[in-house]
Amino acid sequence: MQLSGRVQRLPGVASKPLLLARPARRSCRVAAILQEDPKLATGADQLLRARLEQLLPPSTRDRQGDTGMLDIAGKLPHRYLAEHQDAVWYLSYGANMCFDTLARRGVKVLQRAPCVLVDSNIKLVFQHRAGYSTLQPMAPGQQPKFKPFLPQVHGVLYLVNKEDMRKLQKREGGYNLTEVEVETYDGWRARAQTFVSGSLALLHGEVKPTEKYMRVLRDGAADNYLDPLYQAWLSSIDTVPSAGLPPAYFDTPAKYIAYSFLCIVALVVVGFFSQQ
């Protein structure tokens, strides 16, 4: 029997419609601009900002001020509603900026706004176990491994209930909760909780983050319309493949404590059987 090279639709069976192509996320387009003209990353801030602002929707781009920060205050509900008395402010600067991450963790956001850390001496570094990010205070003039384009750390200020905050705390291995002062892009200040690395989960030095992790950070920054220059900085950071990380990415004090504990247990077991 000779088979036809054409695919025929069976009678009475509807053909499956083609899926529409998913539009490229804005974080991908920010990276594309830097690849197209790498000199923008080291040139004048205003030149880079002018290119990046073209990625913003017209409705928000028209309302931008001289600083380039989005004026979204008119779109936000009242800062603190009476029914949210059991809620806390939470600053996310890492993977939780991404909507998909919060959805997987079952966290319901009551309010959100892009913001910056008030203390410009606190920097974003990639020094947590496995190359994740954390916040670290630095002396004036000191810079992290990846020098930022802007002086302050940007992130997303969330209002979440305490139960959801406990969910996040269970997922953030090696991080401790601390309180920081943040300021939203429209000038409102608040005290917020955030996660920083505990001493046992800190690496000896900064490392290059994984591409998978940075993709989540870039998407989260785009989802929340963080400052275009900050998005450009995230897109300019060198990354490594997620698989096969070298031992240096897990060289933390917690590892040596675990090894010491295993050695002590082994010595106790050997001593017990040697006396029998």
> What is the 3-class SS of 64-131, one letter each residue?
CCCCCCCCCHHHCCCCCCHHHCCEEEEEECCHHHCHHHHHHCCCCCCEEEEEEECCCCEEEECCEHHH
The domain in which residue 177 lies consists of 26-260
272 — alpha (psi -120 to 50), left (phi > 0) or beta? alpha
What is the reported pLDDT for 200?
87
The model scores a pTM over 0.75: no
What is the reported pLDDT for 215?
94
The domain total for the chain is: 1
What is the reported pLDDT for 163?
93
Paired tokens of 145: 């491994």
pLDDT per residue as tens, the chain (276 positions): 443 333 333 344 333 333 333 344 555 555 566 666 666 655 555 666 666 655 544 433 334 443 433 443 344 444 544 456 788 999 999 999 998 899 899 999 988 999 999 999 999 999 999 999 999 999 988 899 999 999 999 999 999 999 999 999 999 989 999 999 999 998 889 999 999 998 888 998 999 999 999 999 999 999 899 999 999 999 999 999 988 899 889 888 755 455 554 566 555 666 556 666
Sign of CA dihedral 250, 254, 259, 265: negative
Residue 75 lies in a domain: yes
Residue 152 lies in a domain: yes
Q: Which helix (H) or strand (E) holds 150?
A: none
Task: Output the domain CATH number for residue 93.
Answer: 3.10.490.10
Residue 13 lies in a domain: no
Residue 267 lies in a domain: no
Burial bucket for residue 141 (CB in 10 Å: 0-12, 13-18, 19+): exposed
Residue 150 lies in a domain: yes
What is the reported pLDDT for 251?
86
Residue 6 lies in a domain: no
Three-class DSSP category at 230: helix
User: φ, ψ for residue 239 (rounded to 5)?
Assistant: -130, 170
Residue 172 lies in a domain: yes
Identify which of 124, 184, 120, 180 has the alpha carbon closest to the alpha carbon of residue 152: 120
What is the reported pLDDT for 55?
54
Three-class DSSP category at 240: strand
What is the reported pLDDT for 51?
61
